[in-house]
Amino acid sequence: MVSPHDRTRAVAWREDALELLDQRRLPGAIVHRRLTVAAEVAEAIRNMVVRGAPAIGIAAAYGVVLAARVRYAEDPHCWRERIAVDLAMLATARPTAVNLVWALRRMEGVIAETEGDPVGWLLAEARAIHEEDIAANRRMGELGAALLGGRCAVLTHCNAGALATGGYGTALGVIRRGYEMGLIERVYADETRPWLQGARLTAWELAQDGIPVTLLADSAASALLRQGAVHWVIVGADRIAANGDVANKIGTYHLAVAARYHGVRFMVVAPTSTMDMRIASGTDIPIEQRAAEELLTFGGQPVAATGVEAWNPSFDVTPAALVDALVTERGVALAPDGEKMARLMAM
Ligand code: MRU
């Protein structure tokens, strides 16, 4: 079923190529990029043409299809050895979102099993990963909206929407469904420095779908929570450790602290492809450090004196103890911990 509040697609397979909506250009311009080789896909992930944990995984899966086409044409006997280089390149494009290696592992499973030309099999698997992600988002939308408990305003951080996933979104999936059910009256979106995913992407996505959205500077969030204007903070995740600690866009952690202080509930919405049960706690999650220029310049202009240094982690870790609800496609864990995570993953 197509929702009237779901019009955006960031990743598509079209006529033997991967088509990505260039998210760096939004909201000013709608530019699609056509990628035909795996190196272009790795670069698009690294440079934020495509971003958001599930979308990165889906793009990488299609990247494997492109790689297989080249490697099998080069040598139908040794393509498996040759494609290993492409898989390694894709796997290291960005370090924090575990969906990337999760998707590549699934593609590796198909590589190990196929006989003859692998392209059709790999394309079928990439498409399955893509479709399963949308289905998971719809399920999480239902489960998350059921927790809202009445008409409310919500705050979100970064972009965990259709643009960050196969479609519909994780946090924005809950928001889309909640809005459809008449439960959400307004969405507050943090602008999300330094890449402005909240301002450029979330606010755009919601405006496209006619969902009322108010933008705020990241530093205004605590003041808003203090006013009692927000009932839930709803965010996505890039990697969740076995104990329930959540890595997500930098700024999520202080939102969770402020939410707890002000008695506002904090919901994390993420598919099980974002869970990393091999990592015991958030301390072990690799946190991407991005270039200092992202902070030291704005729109190409310097905003700090020459010689100033910058600390620019792209993600932070919110301890599980600050999460009121973890929504996955397999079910909900209230106050998640190691035991509840293990139970969810065993379902
Ligand atoms: O650096 P980004 O834009 O890839 O960061 C994205 C986020 O932090 C999202 O909140 C997360 O990937 C969840 S997307 C459903």
- Give the pLDDT mean for 209-226: 97
- Give the pLDDT mean for 110-119: 96
pLDDT in tens, 158-171: 999 999 999 999 99
- Read off the pLDDT band of 7 (50, 70, 90): confident
- Please give the distance, rounded to the nearest whole angstrom, from the Cα atom of residue 220 to the centre of ligand 1: 20
Three-state DSSP class for 234?
strand
- Cβ–Cβ under 8 Å, residues 186 and 153: yes
- Cβ–Cβ under 8 Å, residues 10 and 20: yes
Catalytic residue (choose from 86, 238, 245, 324): 238
- Please give the distance, rounded to the nearest whole angstrom, from the Cα atom of residue 315 to the centre of ligand 1: 9
Q: In a mutational test of the pocket of ligand 1, which residue from 24, 249, 314, 326 has the highest number of ligand atoms less than 8 Å from its CB? A: 249
- Quote the radius of gyration of the chain (alpha carbons, Å): 20
Percentage of the chain with pLDDT > 70? 99
- Cβ–Cβ under 8 Å, residues 140 and 269: yes
- Please give the distance, rounded to the nearest whole angstrom, from the Cα atom of residue 239 to the centre of ligand 1: 10
- Phi, psi angles (nearest 5°) of residue 140: -65, -35
- Give the pLDDT mean for 212-235: 97
Arch. (CATH architecture) of 141-346: 3-Layer(aba) Sandwich (3.40)
Range of lowest pLDDT (2-16, 130-144, 184-198): 2-16
How far, in whole angstroms, is CA 50 from its chain's centroid?
10
Q: In a mutational test of the pocket of ligand 1, which residue from 248, 285, 314, 316 has the highest number of ligand atoms less than 8 Å from its CB? A: 248
pLDDT in tens, 31-56: 999 999 999 999 999 999 999 999 99
Helix (H) / strand (E) containing 258: helix 252-261
Residue 311: partners with Cβ closer than 8 Å, 6 or more residues away: none
| Residue at 202: amino acid letter | T
Can you give the pLDDT at residue 6?
75
Percentage of the chain with pLDDT > 90? 96
Instruction: Kindly provide the b/e burial profile for residues 228-238, where b requires at least 16 CB atoms within 10 angstroms of the residue's own CB.
Output: eebbbbbbbbb
Can you give the pLDDT at residue 256?
98
CB < 8 Å & 24+ apart, contacts of 277-282: 277/242, 277/341, 277/342, 277/345, 278/242, 279/239, 279/241, 279/242, 280/241, 280/242, 280/243, 281/241, 281/242, 281/243, 281/245, 282/241, 282/243, 282/245, 282/246, 282/247, 282/317, 282/318, 282/319
What angle, 0 to 180 degrees and rounded to 10, lies between the N-to-C axes of helices 38-46 and 53-74? Answer: 160
- Please give the distance, rounded to the nearest whole angstrom, from the Cα atom of residue 188 to the centre of ligand 1: 17
- Give the pLDDT mean for 277-283: 98
Range of lowest pLDDT (2-16, 72-86, 227-241, 288-302): 2-16
Q: Is the peptide bond before 212 cis (omega within 30 degrees of 0)?
A: no
- Read off the pLDDT band of 181 (50, 70, 90): very high
- Give the pLDDT mean for 69-97: 97
Residue whose Cα lies nearest atom 15 of ligand 1: it is 160
Arch. (CATH architecture) of 11-135: Up-down Bundle (1.20)
Decide the pairing of beta strands 325-328 and 331-334: antiparallel
Residue 5 has pLDDT above 80, yes or no: no
DSSP output for 116-162: S--HHHHHHHHHHHHHHHHHHHHHHHHHHHTTS-SSEEEEE-S--SG
In the chain, which residues fall in CATH 1.20.120.420?
A: 11-135
Residue 299: partners with Cβ closer than 8 Å, 6 or more residues away: none
Helix (H) / strand (E) containing 325: strand 325-328
Question: Ligand 1 atom closest to Cα of 99?
Answer: 12
In the chain, which residues fall in CATH 3.40.50.10470?
A: 141-346
Helix (H) / strand (E) containing 178: helix 171-180
| Residue 225 DSSP class | H
Question: Ligand 1 atom closest to Cα of 171?
Answer: 15
Can you give the pLDDT at residue 2?
58
- Please give the distance, rounded to the nearest whole angstrom, from the Cα atom of residue 97 to the centre of ligand 1: 8
pTM to 2 decimal places? 0.97
Spatial CA neighbour of 66 closest among 136, 117, 16: 16
pLDDT in tens, 293-311: 999 999 899 999 999 999 9
Question: Ligand 1 atom closest to Cα of 314?
Answer: 1
Decide the pairing of beta strands 246-249 and 213-216: unpaired
- Across the chain, mean pLDDT equals 97
What residues line ligand 1, using a CB cutoff of 6 Å?
A: 51-54, 97, 158, 160, 164-165, 170, 197, 236-238, 248-249, 314
Question: Ligand 1 atom closest to Cα of 249?
Answer: 8
- Give the pLDDT mean for 181-207: 97
Can you give the pLDDT at residue 140?
98
Can you give the pLDDT at residue 248?
98
* Residues 171, 59: Cα–Cα separation, whole Å: 20
**284 catalytic residue (yes or no):** no
